[in-house]
Chain A
Amino acid sequence: MTWENLVLCLVFLLLSPLAIAGLALINQGLGRSRSAAHSMIGTLCALAIAAVVMVVLGAGFAGFKGGNAYSIHLGGVEWDWLGNTSLFMGNSLVSNDSASAGYVLVFLHIVAAGLAAMIPLGAGSDRWRLAPICASSAFFVGFTYPLIAHWVWGGGWLSQLSVHFGGASFVDVGGAGVIQITGGLTALSIVWILGPRRGKYTSESLPTAIPGHNIVLVLFGCILALMGWIGLESATSLLFYNLAPIRIAVVAVNAILSASCGCLAVVVVTQIRYRKPDASLSANGWIAGLVAGSAGCASVSPLAAMVTGAVAGSILVFLIEFLELRLLIDDPGGSISVHAGAGLWGLIAVAVFSPMASEQRWPQVLAQLVGIATFLGFVLPWIHAVNLILNRLVPYRVDRDGDWQGMDIRELGAGAYPEFVVHSEEFLPR
């Protein structure tokens, strides 16, 4: 990679933390006011842990294309499983001419892993304690994320399918799988372990509405997330898929189109179903559009990006409803539907809409299905097993009093809005 491209990549990467800021605002705005500060500090801790653990451990496991790797010889093929760079990024990265490229790569992994690690916070909002958030994030950034990042972006077996077996390789340019699905499936695991918030379901298992406390911040978070997404997708396109810098404009246009159509689709669907557009669902539709558009951000046409976003938004409304009403899954931030659901659709959409010869289309669909099978069949059981073990060591759920008081008072000792927010149920009738 030329130094000009490296600088360009770094500039885009400097935008990418805005995606974390945006999602943090969305998560805390969709939760209750009594847990707002806890939600924000949880995000900050997840990012801090991502930075430290990634440099110490994760970057070595994530590796890079052409770098050392652990591989297994099976069926006459070398399956490249895990990066094999030393701890602390490896001396090779800090002592030779490729040091700058190595630092750019590590910075990208820190932001991407931080983003993936904070996705479950929206699902575990109002009941997930800070200590287990840190423990879960550390394990996620140290082992789970690097494994997947190596398979898809670091020259691992998923990116080498066409080399070893013919056909096509798995494609995920902007991280719909590596970041979003991995984060969304972690959210599902966390919600299974935590159970619903107290008062969310009646004794007849009917859901009650617990509306988000600040929809203004949620909608502002959507705009921040767009800027961060464009930065992150541009950087991954340049670093992992050698996109020509002039094509970055396509990434930016596709990102805003897929987000817009995701949001508009939700506005239309909720207008038809509920007679009024739903603001929080529309915000989730915006993010779902961004997520679904990630996988093919650099390769599909603007029209395809619009269709991808619109389908993601339309599916989202029904998926959120299905999880909440039918499966009794309490996901206040909609993290599972937005990140895992839209991400899965995005991985298929890239094979359906990318311009390619017709004989290449089905092999590409097959490669994407192998990726999806890997996320569902390996990543989900792995994440869930780890979380079940961690839950034994550091109980995830806050106690009954904490559920009632809110996470801010219980864990931080002070509320986010001490002077002007009143919880009516805190006052007993005299």
Chain B
Amino acid sequence: MKIIGFLLLLSGWIIVLVTFDLFTLFSLRAGFVASGIATEGVGLTLLTYGYFSERRRAK
């Protein structure tokens, strides 16, 4: 779960970067930047949950 979270964080950033190269229209850029950040949000949630469940198991 932690590794997937890790990869999703990086993927989100790459989506944001590529958006600027691929699109010139503001609305398209905004949409893809938002989806990149959403991907990062899922990644951060998975990474956090991975550590959280590890702590719960340790208890």
Contact = CB atoms under 8 A, between A and B. Distances in A.
A203 interface: yes
Interface centre among B34, B36, B44, B55 (most CB of A within 10 A): B55
A77 B21 contact: yes
Contacts of A167: 26, 29
Contacts of A77: 21
B51 to A, nearest CB: 5
Nearest to A201: B59
B56 A328 contact: yes
A366 B10 contact: no
Given A373-B16, A374-B13, A381-B9, A74 B59 contact: no
B26 A196 contact: no
A373 B21 contact: no
Interface residues of B, number: 29
Contacts of B10: 377-378, 381
B59 A376 contact: no
A75 interface: yes
A204 B55 CA distance: 11
A427 to B, nearest CB: 28
Given A201-B55, A376-B12, 15 more contacts: A161-B20, A165-B20, A327-B48, A362-B26, A363-B26, A373-B12, A373-B33, A373-B36, A374-B16, A376-B13, A376-B40, A377-B10, A377-B13, A377-B16, A385-B6
Contacts of B11: 377
Interface residues of A, number: 33
Contacts of A381: 6, 9-10
A370 B36 CA distance: 9
A196 B44 contact: no
Given A74-B21, A192-B51, A327-B52, A376 B9 contact: yes
Contacts of B55: 195-196, 201, 205, 328
Contacts of B52: 327-328
B37 to A, nearest CB: 5
B30 interface: yes
B52 to A, nearest CB: 5
A195 B51 CA distance: 9
A385 B10 CA distance: 12
A304 interface: no
Contacts of A196: 55
Interface string B1-16: 0000010011111101
A315 interface: no
Nearest to B34: A369
Contacts of B16: 369-370, 373-374, 377
B11 to A, nearest CB: 8
